[in-house]
Structure formats: C-alpha cells, structure tokens
Structure 1
Amino acid sequence: MKKISTGVEGLDKMLNGGLIPGRAYLVEGGPGAGKTTLAMHFLMEGVRNGEKCLYIALEEPIPSLKEDMRAFGFELDNPNLRLIDATPVGEKRSVFADILYEDFAVSFEKLTRSISEELKTESYSRIVIDPITMLKLTIKDELKYRRAFMAFLKVLANYDATVIFTSELSECDIEEYLVSGVIQLRVVEQNGKPLRGIKIRKFRGSSFDEEARPYKITDKGIVVYPRESML
C-alpha cells in the first residue's frame, strides 16, 4: 500500500511507513503540545517533494505562525505552500475573502464552500486546517455539527487530498469517529518536568504501533522516539 511521510521519521515508523494518502486525519493535543508544529512538518514534507500544499489558520494569525515556525527552520514563504489567514482578526487578504466578501471563519458552511472553490483552481495534495475547534464553536447542536463535518469530509474527498485537522483533546469526539486516523499528543508533568507522549489511537487500513512513545520539541521541530517506552 502506498503511504506518504508525515515529515517526522519516528512517527512514520509508528505508522508503518506513513499516512495513507487521500484521507483525513486528526491531530489532538492540549495547548503547547505541538499540534501546529506536527502539521507543519507534514506540509513542509510535501513542499520538499514539489507538492502543492494548503494551510488554513483559524486561530493563530499568519505573521505569528511564520515567526514561530522559523524557529524550527521552516521557511513558509514558498510558492508551493499557500497560507490562508481565516482567523477572526485576520486581514482577509486571501482568495477566500475575494470569493465571499465576508468573514467566513464564523461558519462551517462558508468555509466548506470557500475551500471547494479554492480546490477547483489549484490541485493541492496536502491540506491542514488548524484548529477545527474554532469551527466547532459555530455549530452548537451535535447532530447538525456531525452532518456538517461529514459534508465537509465529502467535499475534501472529491479532490484526493490528504487532510490533517488539529483539535483540542477534550473537544473532538465526533471527529474521531469520522476521520481515518487519530494521533494524540499528550503532555504530563513528571518530577516537575514535562513528559511528552505521542499515541496513535486509530489508523484505518493499516497496522500501526499502538504504544505511546516519547517525543520532544527541539530546535528542528518534533522528534519522535519509536523504540522507547513512555514508562
């Protein structure tokens, strides 16, 4: 089976070669766990391969993102990487703003329409939406949200892109059922120091390492230790 790299060697080993392309995955974690950093590894791997990649920011403005990622050696000013600022305070200087002439970050349906229009104009192989939590806040009814999220996944599936959503740990029960894979980033304190662990909770279509493995956030981004135990 064909697989694509996440951009993190140790995580690829846990996934027995990487992600299955054309599917949607969820990266869960608390604040500071490294969700955005992991997602950016995934995109930059695509950029290195000459793929067209799309990043949609729903929480952190693009200028701040560029500064943060530069600390890991990720230069985001690349013609193969499209960065869309869909944050509530974003400048809206993007193709989405041109399409809707309104702040679509407050509506799941608006985002779905906007992404669909963007994918019609460019063939993206990798997409990150960071974080999906922001959109979940716009639909309070659980059944309506489930239907909206399923419709969202169906739209993305039409374009054969590999998609990563990020979300807070405690707020993604519906998404876990609907995506093809779930990767959790957890941080606990041990003797006053943070202990980081990564665990694959779900990975349809492939075997995978079910153990929680330690990881670190270094000056080069996330490093996973697939042969070490959390204990």
Structure 2
Amino acid sequence: MGLSTGCRRLDELLGGGVPDERSLLVSGPPGTGKTTLGMQFLQAGLDRGEECLFVSTEQTVGELEDTFEPYPFDLDADGLTVITVHCEPGDTMERDDDLVVRTLEGGDRAVTEWFDLPFTRENVVHYLSEYGPKDRILLDSLSGLRPIAADEVSFWRSTYDLIRLFSDTFDATSLLTAEDSDTGDSVASELLRYATHGVIELSSVERANQRHTFLRVEKLRGRDHDTRRHKLVLGEAGATVQPTQRTPPSDLLDHDHLSTGIDALDELLGGGLVRGGFTLLSHDGTTSYYTINAQMLATAVETGMALSVAIPAEVSLSQLDRYWTDTDWSVGDLLDADRLFVLELVASDGYDHRNVLRYDESADRGWEQLMEVSYDRSGDRPLFAFIDTEPLLEQIAPERAREVRYRAAASHTDDDDVVVYAVNPAIQNQSLVEFFADTSSQTIRIEREEDGIEWLTLRKSPTGSPGTSKVVAYDEEPPYVDLV
C-alpha cells in the first residue's frame, strides 16, 4: 500500500501510508510540527534498514540536533544522509554578488565537495542528484528554495523537477514541507499542491490561551483517504494523531441497528439507524431527502416492522408507492395489514382508510392520540416512526412537540423501535431544533449547494464516523441513492 509515516493513525488517514515512490506536501504555519513529522517519516524508514536523505534549506545540522533533542530520532544513523542547501550572495564567474548554492554554516554529513554555483534550478537539481538513490527523502523546506525562481510558475516548475528527481531517478518516496500563511504570499500555493501527489495541511487554533495544532489530509490522488481534521500531538515519542477513533470502542457500547437499505449510509452510521433511539434528519428544504427516507421505510417493512409516518403535503402516499415499485407490497397492502399508519396532520391525501389517521384536536384526535393508535394497532411488531416536523408544527406549539416527544420515548419506544424526526432549522423554532439535536442518538444533515451538489454529513452518532461528509448520488435503480 505505502510507506509508514511512523504514526499509525496518520497512516490510516492516508489509506495505508505514503504511496510508494510518490511525494507529499506538508504545509502549515511556523511551529506546527512540519519538520518533526518529516523526520519521523525518515526514522520509520531507518528503523526498517532503508536509505534516507534529509535535505535542509533553513537549519544547520546543529540546529536540527537541538530541534530533535526531545524526540527519539537518530541523526547519526548509518542509513541517513543529512545535507544543507542554502541560497546566499557569493562569487560566481559572472558577478561577485550573485545568489549561490552553499551549505549552511555548521557543515553537513555528506562527503561531496563542491564550489559556489549560481542558485538556479539546474544547479540545485544537479547537486542533489549526487545523493541518490534513496528510499525516503525529506526536503525541509521548499520555502528556503524560493529564490530559485523569479515567479510562482517558475518556482512550481523547479519543485516539479525536484519531485521527478526524487520519484523517477531516485525511486524514492518523499515528503516536502512548505510554510503556509494567511498573507496570500504562500509557498504552498495551489500550483505546488497540484505538483505533489498529496497534501497534508497543518493548522493552529487558540483555545483558552492554549495553542492546538491540527492535521488534515487535504488531498491524495487515487486513494480513499480520511479528510477530517485531527489533533497533532508532539510528545516524547514523536508525533501522534488524535483521536484514533471518534466513537467509543464497540465493547463499551450496546447498540442494535436497523439497516437504512443504503450500504454506504450504513457504513457511515456504523451499522445503520440506532434501534431504541432517536435519529434527527436535518435538511435545508432544497434536497431530495425523501428518496433516502423512502428507502429507510422500505427496509423497515422488509425486516417485519410497522410504519407510522407524518409526511408533508407535497409528499403523497402515491409518491411512496413509486419508490416501492420493486417491492412485493404497496401502500394499500400495508394499510390493510396494519403495517402502515399515516398521521395526516394538515391536508387529506385522498386515501379513505381506517389507518389514515386524520388530525382533529377538537375530536380527541391530537398528535399524541394518533401515535397511541399507531402503537396499539401495530401489535407486537416493532414500529418505525418517521415524523416530519413541518406539518406537525402547523398544528401544535414547539413546547407541546417537546412534551409529546418525551412522553412517546418514555411510554412507547421499545428497544426494537426506530424513531426519525426531520427538521429544517432555517424555518423552524431554533430552541426546538436544538432540543431535537440534543436528545437524538444520531444527527444527519443533508444540504444542497448552489451548484446542485447534495452533501450528507453525520453530525452525531454513538457509532460510525461522526464529522464525515459524503456527496449524495442518485440512480435510476433501487435503492435509487448512494453516497460517494
């Protein structure tokens, strides 16, 4: 798969380490641990008996020794060559004030002797070519080579030449660091990010007068990788990445799941919808989230559950039938078998059936009474309750919705039941939305951007991958939706 970075969790985020004979750019502000992360990558290779090259453009060997003094890194290892490349004014055949290539004061660990040469792309590449082949290379940092070119495009070409030298000529796997800043004049520009096979981005956050460093794998070509932000911790053992997982270990949990009928969504949720709990589905009013809902409902029926649904007026029962054309049953079949209970809270859907329960507070058919009927008529079957709060809040106050939600959970929801509420925070009572989010076992957010792309994000869950976002993709075949 690839070469280890020396940090197990980072290897996992990269989908199996650094791809062999490829390059990664590690960018970030000063002091975020770029050099330490790079040296840990080299040390992992040294521990395996590999040949490694450390090219420093900003620190002498003595300064590197001071930097790495707290860590278990060995700059004197037999398989490690440390060289320094620096740009400074000097004498060339043309002028006595040209920028020239020199080692930084303090010497280097290389045997090669060489003369002052103009600080050009060709000369730097020629100088470095004397140190191959290698298994791993750290170039720290590209910022020190910036004078090699007059403009950003030329500098990108110079960096690309170095990457080709390392990957194609040396057959090496390389890490290149670059200082990134908020000034806009960043060496780690989009061009450099394009030149490398992948990008690891470091950032800093201040909280309560303490500085925290975070790591994110921003890009990695051809590899399924984790793009979530993680804390980078620099300690005596080197660099570690936390959290190693975002939900408690499975042996500490006791959760049964109901499949959503969508494999990628089940994987994201850690198995599916939590039984005996409450899932909040948050949307922005522009998505086709009922395609996902219909698949959840169909899967619940297939597992032997009964359905109790409160859907908005624009989602008709005949529309559910269109989603269920590949099944052996229809809306009418489920109503007749006491497997489907429709809580009509606003307008009639045209169905005249004892299990189409029409809301009428004055006739003692309020929301709580309708839910009571659903639980009673479903008998011993587990119940899948899907409640869209849009029609609900047209009939009852948010305080009443909160009260009935508590009563239903305490009096009726069994360990095998599943409850899903759909909310649109943009148009609904904020305190009620926060109440639903706070009391939910899982919170899923679906939203559409201006270009039409729909995103599904798992905001909260006791299992699975909270914080992960996927693009929603629709299909003409069941289950009609996928996450990519």
TM-score by shorter chain over 0.5: yes
Cα distance between partner residues in 1 of 2:73 and 2:117 = 28
Question: What secondary structure does 1:198 align onto?
Answer: strand
Return the structure number with greater helix share: 1
What SS is found at the alignment partner of 2:148? coil
Q: Is 1:65 equivalent to 2:64 in the alignment?
A: yes
- Contact persistence 1:54–1:127 (CA under 8 A): yes
Structure 2 runs not aligned, ≥5 long: 88-103, 181-185, 247-465, 468-484
Instruction: Say if 2:198 and 2:220, in contact at 8 Å, map to a contact too.
Output: yes
Determine whether 1:50 maps to 2:39.
Answer: no
Range with greater deviation from structure 2 (148-157 or 207-216): 148-157
Corresponding residue for residue 187 of structure 1:
204
Asked if the contact 2:81/2:110 (under 8 Å) is kept, the reply is: no
Gapped runs of 5+ residues in structure 1?
Answer: none
CA shift, 1:54, in A, is: 0.3
Partner SS, residue 211 of structure 2: strand
Tell me the amino acid that sits aligned with residue 167 of structure 1.
A
Corresponding residue number in structure 1 for 2:105: 90
Contact 1:213–1:227 under 8 Å retained in 2? no
Equivalents in 2 of 1:97, 1:188: separation in Å? 43
Distance in structure 1 (CA, Å) of the matches to 2:153 and 2:67: 36
The equivalent residue for 1:143 is 153
Q: Which residue of 1 aligns with 2:26?
A: 27
Deviations 1:134-163 (A, max 9, x none): 112331222322222222222222221001
The one-letter amino acid of 2:152's match is E
**Residue by residue, what CA displacement relative to the aligned partner does 1:50-109 show, whole Å, maximum 9, x if unpaired?**
0000001100111111122121121211110111122453345564861x31267x4433
CA 1:114–1:126: 2 relative to 1, 3 Å: same
Structure with higher Rg: it is 2
Equivalence for 1:152: 162
Q: Quote the residue 1:77 is aligned against.
A: 76
Measure, in 2, the Cα distance between the counterparts of 1:224 and 1:92.
34
After superposition, the C-alpha distances for 1:97-133 in whole angstroms (9 at most, x for unaligned) are: 61x31267x44332211111221xxx31000110011
Report whether the alignment pairs 1:172 with 2:185: no
SS of corresponding position for 2:68: helix
Task: Tell me how many residue pairs correspond in the alignment.
Answer: 224
CA distance in 2, matches of 1:195, 1:91: 33
SS state at 1:171 partner = coil
In structure 1, the residue matched to 2:92 is none
State the partner residue of 1:132: 142
Is 1:17 aligned to 2:10, yes or no? no
Specify which of 174, 179, 197 is matched with residue 214 of structure 2: 197
For 2:153, the aligned partner's letter is L
TM-score normalized by structure 2?
0.44
Aligned AA for 2:167? A
Aligned to 1:112: 125
Query: Does 1:227 find its partner at 2:245?
Result: yes
Q: Is the 8 A contact 2:82 2:108 kept in 1?
A: no
Is the CA contact (8 Å cut-off) linking 2:137 and 2:174 kept in structure 1? Answer: yes
| Matched residue type, 2:174 | V
Q: Kindly provide the amino acid, as one letter, of the partner of residue 3 in structure 2.
A: I
Aligned to 2:116: 102
2:76 is matched by which residue type in structure 1?
Answer: D
TM-score of the pair, normalised by structure 1: 0.89
The answer as to whether partners of 1:108 and 1:135 remain within 8 angstroms in 2 is: no
Q: Give the match for residue 215 of structure 1.
A: 232
Distance 1:110 1:97, change over 3 A: farther
The reply to whether residue 163 of structure 1 matches residue 179 of structure 2 is: no
SS, match of residue 174 in structure 2: strand
Distance 1:62 1:107, change over 3 A: farther
Change (3 A) 1:93 1:221: closer
